[in-house]
Amino acid sequence: MGRDTRITFIDENNDRHDGRLPREDVVIASGIRTVTVDLHHRWTDWFPGIPVAAMKGWEVVITDGELDVTYSGMIEEISPFGLIIREA
């Protein structure tokens, strides 16, 4: 089993919201200029108090705990169980 997936959300005030998610609870798929992240639990389980709808347009940095690959970009779409980011 790999290491936890690290994630940092950067909001419109440049405040950072850091977290670690168990690798087995995260599925990351990289496409052309987009990255899709699917969760087995809700975002609010790890980031309580942050309304999911408010996160659209935030910057995000995700480091895959298994592959040690980092993705970053802007949140293009978000739901309670996942997101799509547009890579920079």
Interval 67-84 mean pLDDT: 91
**45-67 exposure pattern, b = at least 16 Cβ within 10 A, e = fewer:** ebbeeeebeebeebbbbbbbbee
Provide the pLDDT confidence category of residue 9 given band limits of 50, 70 and 90. very high
Q: DSSP 3-state helix, strand, coil percentages of the chain (rounded to 5)? A: 10, 50, 40
pTM as predicted: 0.84
Q: Decide if pLDDT at 1 tops 60.
A: no
Beta-ladder partners of 79: 82
Check residues 47 and 6 and name the one with the higher pLDDT.
6
